[in-house]
Amino acid sequence: MNGRQILNLFTTSGVTILRDVYQCSPHDLAGGLMSLNTARKYTRLATVFFGPADSPKVQRDAVTLAEARQLSLEYLEMVNKHAKKLTTRGVAWKLRAELIAFEGTFEEVEAYAKKRVMEEGGDKPKQRGVRLGRVVDGLRTISITDTQRRITDLEKTLDAGIKHDEGQPRSEALLEPFWDLVEGTGTGLIKPEYRTVIAIGLNDFAKVSCGKGKDVVVALSDGTTMTGAEFINAAMEGSLGDKLYVGLFHPTAGPVNLYEARFASGKLRTLAMAENLVCPWPDCNVPADRCQVHHIDAHKHGGHTKPSNLTMLCKYHNGVNNDDPDGQRNKRRPGKPKRGKPNRGRMRRHRGKVRLHTPGGKLVSNSHDLSSMGAMDLI
């Protein structure tokens, strides 16, 4: 049995594993290969699915279906993570059963679970405020929660004060500019001027311009959103600058041209940012304002510097992208271990949109909220 077969057996036996784990103490499970915390996590999950419940029939039916569908431990853990937020008697088990029966990928089921929990009032919205952690090894942590606009403006202010050192982690680089701002020795909070790209479709722009776009929400390349009313207010305050840039996009070919731009390099970057407001690599959340321009077909392999061959990638994913045209890296003879960098896949343009082409041949989009609000999604 090879590694993939072992993994397949493990991921299709969630109920079988929990049924046996229910009879065990976490101290019996824990050992050289499993930590006590992991053992406790599994025994708690087993108690949910096989222990006493406020809806025993729903529980039995849900467990039977989960076993028939060969759901994994990870899947059942995800189901329980969301369902346990509902505290009304019987409601949590009703949702567990609903999620176990739901057809879709793991990510689709999780997105649906979040939506259902919100509908049932189980998830409380985050509260604005400042939170201070306890002292650990002589250090303390401060956490600030506020509107996306205020925090992003703060981030831009701190970014402007960074003394660039390629080897320094970003979190460390932001620390001294933060204290300069707090102590009054910095530049003061930067009022944003939107050279950040604002992606808005022509129809929505017409509504907003006529004062009828209060319900319109547009996405920005700094990772935030704004309403139609905020868009108009920014224009009235002069935050949008004195020049309007209009990008033209083709539904299947992608970016075509940018009008009213002065320099070709800036033009191409702006088009790429308008298309992808965050790095398009799956699960990445780095806004386009902090990304690098990436040639989809590498320049060294004959790729042209034209709108349809460019996208935005964060520094990390720009580095791990496989630029080889055949999608291969580290070719090896059978039985020989791979050396060097692993093949993570490469960005491709498919039906007009930029997606990750995995080594296994799948085309995967970023699921970040702003990934579906760029220019190509507005036409």
- Please give the pLDDT value at position 264: 39
pLDDT of res. 3: 81
- In the chain, where the domains are located: 3-119, 145-182, 198-331+341-377
pTM for this prediction:
0.54
Residue 204 has a pLDDT of 78
Interatomic CA distance for residues 206 and 231, integer angstroms: 12
pLDDT at 45: 95
* Count of all residues that appear for the chain in the document: 379
Contact at 8 Å (CB) between 220 and 194? yes
Give the pLDDT of residue 337.
47
Quote the CA–CA distance of 151 and 178 in Å, as a whole number: 12
So what's the pLDDT on residue 256? 63
Using the Cα atoms of residue 222, residue 224, residue 228 and residue 229 in order, give the sign of their dihedral.
Answer: negative
Report DSSP letters for 311-346, one per residue. EEE-HHHHHHS---TTS--S---TTPPP-SS----E
Task: Give pLDDT, residue 312.
Answer: 93
Q: pLDDT tens track of the chain, all 379 residues?
A: 778 877 887 788 899 999 999 988 888 888 777 888 999 999 999 999 999 999 999 999 999 999 999 999 999 999 999 999 998 899 999 999 999 999 999 999 999 999 999 888 877 778 899 999 998 999 899 999 998 888 888 888 888 888 776 778 888 989 988 988 888 876 666 665 555 666 777 777 777 666 566 677 877 777 778 787 777 667 655 666 655 565 666 676 677 666 543 333 677 888 899 899 999 999 999 999 889 889 898 877 878 878 888 899 999 999 899 987 665 554 544 445 455 567 889 999 998 899 999 988 889 999 898 888 888 888 7
Q: Which residues contact 247 (CB under 8 A, 6 or more apart)?
A: 255, 257, 258, 259, 270, 271, 274, 375
Residue 194 C-alpha from the chain's centroid = 23
The pLDDT score that the predictor gives to residue 101 is 96
Looking at residue 321, what is its pLDDT?
92
Q: Using CA atoms, how far apart are residues 379 and 251, in angstroms rounded to an integer? A: 6
**Cα distance between residue 152 and residue 144, in whole Å:** 12
Helical axes 175-182 vs 148-160, angle rounded to 10°: 110
Other Cβ atoms closer than 10 A to 223: 22
Q: What pLDDT score was predicted for residue 130?
A: 93
